[in-house]
C-alpha cells in the first residue's frame, strides 16, 4: 500500500518538510526526539501515513502489544506518519514526517515521501539524523549540514556532501530529490558512542538549533535546552559514580586534546584491560539514571 491521506492540507505558507527515521540514521534517538518535539510544541495534526505492510519485515522489527484502558490487547505497528503544523507565530508552516526506517522497497517508499512533497507544495526538505563518534559528552554537540543543491550551498552557506559508503533511507530520499531537482538539506548530530543507548536531548537540541538557522524560523527551544543541560548533569553524575567509567571518559577526552600522532597510539595494555567497553558504560549510566528516576539508589 502507498501513502494514505486523511485530508488534503489547505494551502500552506512557504512550507518546509522535516523528516526523521528511527533506526540506522538515528543514534540515541536524537532525530526522532527532535521531530516529535516539533509536532508536540507546534500542535501538529496528522494528515497522512505510509502503511507498513509492504515495507517492513516484521520478524526483524516486531510489532508490540499493549493493554488499553479497558484491558483489551492492542497491536502497535511500525509507523511512518506526517503532521502539519501551522504556528501563527512563525513565518512559515512546517510539515513533519517521523517514523521508522523501512526494511524493504526503499525506492517505492521514497516515492511516497515525494507524493507528500507534491501534495503539500513543500519548498524545502530537511532530513535529520545522528551518528556515533568519539567526542566527549561534555563538549558541545558537533553538527554537520549538507546538501546536494548548489543553490543552497550559496544561499545558506552549506557544505556539499562528499560522503561515499553505506547509506540509509535518508540517503535514498536525498538522491531522489536530487534527481527531481528539489532542494534538500541533511542535518546530522554527532553522539558519543558510550552513551548511545540513552535518548539524547542534547543532540536533539543541537539538531533543532541548526534547523531554525537553516529554515530561518525563530523556534523557542528553551525547554529542550533545559532538558539537555539536565541530561548533561545526570550523565556527569553517573560517570563520577564509577572510577573505571570516569577513567575511560578521561582517556577519551585526553585523546581528543592530543596531537594526531599521540591520539592514534593505543592505550597501554594494562589500562585497556581495566576499562569497560562502551556498551558496558552505556548500561551502567542507564541503570544509574533509572535508579534516579525511581528514587532509589539500590541496584
For residues 51-74, average pLDDT: 93
Between 193 and 58, the higher pLDDT residue: 58
104 plus 29 within the same structural domain: yes
Q: With a cut of 60, say whether residue 199 has pLDDT above it.
A: yes
Supply the pLDDT for residue 157.
73
Parent domain of 67: 4-221
> d(Cα 130, Cα 143) in Å, to the nearest integer?
9
* Residue after which a domain boundary falls, among 221, 250, 276: 221
All three cell numbers of 113, joined, read: 515521501
Q: Is residue 235 part of a domain?
A: no
182 plus 256 within the same structural domain: no
Q: What confidence tier does 262 reach under pLDDT thresholds 50, 70, 90?
A: very low
Phi, psi for 61 (deg, rounded to 5): -125, 95
188 plus 259 within the same structural domain: no
Instruction: For 80-92, write each residue's pLDDT tens digit.
Output: 999 999 999 999 9
Q: Is residue 168 part of a domain?
A: yes
Nearest to 56 by CA among 74, 76, 39: 76
**Mean pLDDT value across the chain:** 85
Supply the pLDDT for residue 295.
61
pLDDT > 70 fraction of the chain, expressed in percent and rounded: 86
53 plus 152 within the same structural domain: yes
Between 292 and 79, the higher pLDDT residue: 79
Q: With a cut of 50, say whether residue 290 has pLDDT above it.
A: yes
Domain count, the chain: 2
For residues 40-58, average pLDDT: 96
Supply the pLDDT for residue 288.
72
Q: Is residue 283 part of a domain?
A: yes
Q: Is residue 140 part of a domain?
A: yes
Q: With a cut of 50, say whether residue 267 has pLDDT above it.
A: no
Q: With a cut of 50, say whether residue 270 has pLDDT above it.
A: no
For residues 53-82, average pLDDT: 93
Q: Is 11 helix (H, G, I), strand (E, B) or coil?
A: coil
Which pairs from 243-248 meet CB under 8 Å and 24+ separation? 244/274, 244/275, 244/276, 245/276, 245/281, 245/284, 245/285, 247/271, 247/274, 247/275, 248/194, 248/275, 248/276, 248/281
Range in 55-59, 172-176, 234-238 with the lowest mean pLDDT: 234-238
Q: Positive or negative CA dihedral for 219, 222, 228, 231?
A: negative
Q: What confidence tier does 268 reach under pLDDT thresholds 50, 70, 90?
A: very low
Reported pTM: 0.86
Report the chain's terminal Cα–Cα distance, integer Å.
Answer: 47
Amino acid at each position: 500500500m502507498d501513502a494514505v491521506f486523511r485530508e488534503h492540507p489547505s494551502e500552506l505558507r512557504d512550507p518546509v518538510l522535516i523528516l526523521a527515521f528511527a533506526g540506522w540514521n538515528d543514534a540515541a534517538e536524537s532525530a526522532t526526539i527532535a521531530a516529535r518535539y516539533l509536532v508536540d510544541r507546534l500542535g501538529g495534526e496528522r494528515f497522512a501515513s505510509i502503511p507498513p505492510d509492504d515495507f517492513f519485515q516484521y520478524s526483524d522489527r516486531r510489532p508490540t502489544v499493549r493493554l488499553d484502558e479497558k484491558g483489551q490487547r492492542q497491536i502497535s505497528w511500525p509507523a511512518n506518519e506526517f503532521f502539519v503544523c501551522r504556528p501563527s507565530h512563525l513565518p512559515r508552516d512546517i510539515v513533519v514526517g517521523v517514523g521508522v526506517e523501512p526494511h524493504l522497497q526503499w525506492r517505492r517508499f521514497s516515492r511516497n515521501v515525494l507524493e507528500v512533497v507534491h501534495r503539500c507544495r513543500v519548498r524545502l526538505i530537511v532530513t535529520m539524523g545522528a551518528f556515533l563518534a568519539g567526542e566527549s559528552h561534555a563538549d558541545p554537540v558537533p553538527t554537520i549540514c549538507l546538501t546536494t543543491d548548489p543553490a543552497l550551498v550559496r544561499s545558506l552557506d552549506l557544505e556539499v556532501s562528499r560522503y561515499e559508503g553505506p547509506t540509509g533511507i535518508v540517503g535514498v530520499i536525498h538522491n531522489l530529490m536530487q534527481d527531481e531537482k528539489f532542494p534538500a538539506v541533511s542535518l546530522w548530530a554527532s553522539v558519543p558512542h558510550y552513551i548511545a543507548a540513552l535518548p539524547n536531548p542534547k543532540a536533539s537540541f543541537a539538531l533543532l538549533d541548526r534547523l531554525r538557522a537553516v529554515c530561518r524560523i525563530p523556534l523557542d527551544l528553551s525547554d529542550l535546552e533545559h532538558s539537555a543541560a539536565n541530561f548533561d548533569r545526570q550523565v556527569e553524575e553517573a560517570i563520577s559514580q564509577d572510577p573505571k567509567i570516569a577513567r575511560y571518559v578521561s582517556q577519551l577526552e585526553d585523546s581528543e586534546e592530543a596531537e594526531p600522532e599521540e591520539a592514534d597510539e593505543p592505550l597501554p595494555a594494562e589500562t585497556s584491560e581495566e576499562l569497560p567497553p562502551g556498551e558496558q558504560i552505556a548500561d551502567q549510566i542507564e541503570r544509574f539514571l533509572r535508579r534516579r528516576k525511581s528514587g532509589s539508589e539500590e541496584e
